[in-house]
Structure 1
Amino acid sequence: MEHFESWKDLLNPEFYIKMGGFWLILFIIFAETGLFVGFFLPGDSLLFISGIYAVKIIDTTFGTTGSDFLDTTILATAVAVAAIIGNEIGYWFGYKSGPLLYERKDTFLFKKKYLFKAHDFFEDHGTVAVILARFLPIVRTFAPIVAGIVKMDKKKFFYYNIIGAFAWSFTMIFAGHYLDKLFMDQFGIDLKKKLEIIVLVIVLVTTLPIIIKFFFTKDKERPTKID
């Protein structure tokens, strides 16, 4: 069992995998949207590295099926379901009380500017934003809330929510699992020993669009409240 040693552990995906395994992974993915405080958690890198450890995770939790593909599929499916539930809760919260968030003061875990940026992203990309947001840190935390605020059709949101969750989960987890096998078989490189570099690359790739959006585009006029 992994033990908490410093705040740096909270940004280390491998820490969560070793500390809590399958169930903690699901909780973190759910928390990113279901609890609205997970934007600082390592979502994309967590899934990628979970893919590397997929067989071990499933074996430890339920016992392996004897097939790498099936074990990885079980993990990816469970993650997708957790992501769907989290988004649905985010949508419900936005639908019921979202407008009040525009009057809420900033806290350590809540930044109003993130809500505005998610709103802009949703306006720019329409309903497809529900799918695209899955691949963008911070945006995926607030996109379902914005969808609820703008009263997006519930059935349509659910449909795009499912597509986005499965696309994100299967892409990241299967990429981690099979790239690890590819690098080991073809180049003799164990990605488990390169996790710090992998996390850094994933963070840079996934946050670059956010950085550009936040700092290099002009803000639109902001409503103080959305009815």
Structure 2
Amino acid sequence: MKKKMKVSFLLVILLCSGWSVLAQQELKVRVLNQYESSVGQFTLIQGQESKEFVADKEGHVLLPLDSLQEVLITAPMYDTLRFSYAGLSADKTVVMEKSFEWKDLLNPMFYIVMGGLWIILLIVFAETGLFAGFFLPGDSLLFVAGIYSTNLINELFKSFGLVLERSEWIDLILLVTLISIAGVIGNTVGYWFGRKIGPTMFRWKDNFFFKKHYLEQAHEFYDKHGGGAIVFARFLPIVRTFAPIIAGIVGMDKKKFAFYNIAGCIAWVFSMIFAGHFLQKWVKAQFGFDLKDHLEVIIIIIVLVTTAPVLIKLVSGGKKRKEKGEG
């Protein structure tokens, strides 16, 4: 009898210790916002207890495992989220909804999440067609669009109720074609605007959407490079917004403008989309990490590379104006 009691007692101890081990287990979870960026610091509320956690740059963090209970997760500027570990997807990702901030307008993922391909087409058109889109993230947006090319085309087809099997090449060609058309139309609108009322723009006052020195800078760029400026301008933020307007102001031949316009748009869109798509595949195959996990760094690099010539021009131009003023 005593032996049975000892055995039973040992079994109880083992079971209790087993539950204790399970309670101490941790689960690797990824905590992201809707733009696929790491949430960073957040608070996990489980029952009456709350604890602070910090996710890494990819959003990964170890959380205490309790599949029998729902938990709350909160963070500044985020909506509170309730979830259970058992209800997580296979990749163990938790997506929190981030509140809007004005700086989100500089994040390409904001536009992809909010409107997909439709809003990308509008932005590419607006950069030149509305001459007020110089602050929009054109280059980085197209690069990121190349990474998400299949997703974007899938959403486009679904909006028309179409379900078709396609290869990655078809998706890329469709994406390049549609965005190039939007760019060509935008440049054409800018060109006709320049022909009609462009000269009066040099007498406009500066405001948030219009800066006279940007127009003057584009004029200098056009004088230096001629028709090729329409092609080169596509790769330069700010300059590409005003280059077609300058072409209209100086009365560039319509056929000549159309040629450079189409060539420049296709070259710009093709290079950005294909760079994003295939660089993502190459990096993942060679180094084993996903560019989607490092979009913030990539965007910063693209912005620095594409805006460097413009910034250098602005600085050197400012110095020249000061020297002339002193003289």
Name the aligned partner's letter for residue 35 of structure 1: L
Q: Does the C-alpha gap of structure 1 residues 27 and 65 become closer, same or farther in structure 2, counting only changes over 3 Å?
A: farther
Matched, 1:101 2:196: no
Q: Contact 1:80–1:165 (CA<8 Å) still a contact in 2? A: yes
Verify: 1:122 aligned to 2:222, yes or no: yes
Q: Does structure 2 retain, via aligned residues, the 8 Å contact 1:136–1:207?
A: yes
**Residue 179 of structure 2: aligned partner:** 79
Q: How many residues align?
A: 220
In terms of fraction of residues, the more strand-rich structure is: 2
Q: CA deviation at 1:69?
A: 1.2
Q: Residue 57 of structure 1: which of 129, 152, 175 is its match?
A: 152
Q: Is the 8 A contact 1:38 1:141 kept in 2?
A: yes
User: Is 1:14 the equivalent of 2:90?
Assistant: no
How far apart are 1:60 and its partner, in Å? 1.4
Distance across 1 between alignment mates of 2:200 and 2:111: 33
Separation of aligned partners in 2, 1:67 and 1:79: 19
Aligned to 1:200, which of 292, 300, 314? 300
Structure 1 counterpart of 2:242: 142
Q: How does 1:25-44 map onto structure 2 within 5 Å?
A: 25-44=120-139
Aligned match of 2:289: 189
Shift of 1:61: 1.2
Q: Distance in 2 between matches of 1:212 and 1:102?
A: 23
Q: Which amino acid aligns with 2:149?
A: A
Query: Deviation digits for residues 37-61 of structure 1, max 9, x if unmatched?
Result: 1100000000000000001100111
Tell me if structure 2 keeps the 8 A contact 1:92–1:148. yes
Q: CA deviation at 1:4?
A: 6.0
Query: What is the rounded CA distance, in whole Å, between the counterparts of 1:8 and 1:120 in structure 2?
Result: 31
Secondary structure of the residue aligned to 2:166 is coil
TM-score by length of 2: 0.65
More deviation, 111-120/211-220: 211-220
The residue that corresponds to 2:62 in the other structure is none
Mind listing any 5+ residue stretches in structure 1 that lack a counterpart?
A: 221-227
Q: Which has a greater percent of helix?
A: 1
Question: Looking at both structures, which has the greater relative contact order when contacts are Cα pairs under 8 Å and sequence separation is at least 6?
Answer: 1
Residue identity matched to 2:118: W
Question: d(CA) in 2 for partners of 1:79 and 1:199?
Answer: 19
Give the distance between the partners of 1:143 and 1:219, measured in 2 at CA: 22
Computed over aligned residues only, the root mean square deviation of the Cα atoms, in angstroms, reads 1.5
Query: Which of 3, 18, 24 is the matching residue for 2:119?
Result: 24
Q: TM-score, normalised by structure 1?
A: 0.94
CA shift, 1:73, in A, is 1.2
Shift of 1:66: 2.2
Would you say 1:112 and 2:207 are equivalent positions? no
Residue type at the aligned position of 2:192 = W
Q: CA deviation at 1:219?
A: 4.7
- One-letter identity of the residue aligned with 1:186: Q
Matches of 1:198 and 1:127 in 2, distance apart? 31
The equivalent of 2:71 in structure 1 is none
C-alpha distance 122-65 of structure 1, shift in aligned 2 (>3 A): farther
Alpha-carbon distance, 1:216 to partner: 1.3
One-letter identity of the residue aligned with 1:45: S
Letter of the structure 2 residue corresponding to residue 185 of structure 1:
A
The question of 1:172 aligning with 2:267 is answered no
- In structure 2, the residue matched to 1:223 is none
Q: Is the 8 A contact 1:58 1:64 kept in 2?
A: no
After superposition, the C-alpha distances for 1:183-220 in whole angstroms (9 at most, x for unaligned) are 11111110001000000000000000001111113359
Q: Judge conservation of contact 1:88–1:144 (CA < 8 Å) in 2.
A: yes
**Partner Cα distance (1:198, 1:219) in 2:** 35
Which position in structure 2 is the counterpart of 1:211? Answer: 311
Give identity over the alignment, percent. Answer: 58
How does 1:212-227 map onto structure 2 within 5 Å? 212-217=312-317, 218-219=320-321
Q: Give structure 1 regions of 4+ aligned residues with deviation exceeding 3 angstroms.
A: 1-4
Asked if the contact 1:65/1:71 (under 8 Å) is kept, the reply is no
* Equivalent AA in structure 1 for residue 145 of structure 2: S
In the alignment, the residues of structure 1 paired with residue 165 and residue 103 of structure 2 have an alpha-carbon distance, to the nearest angstrom, of 34
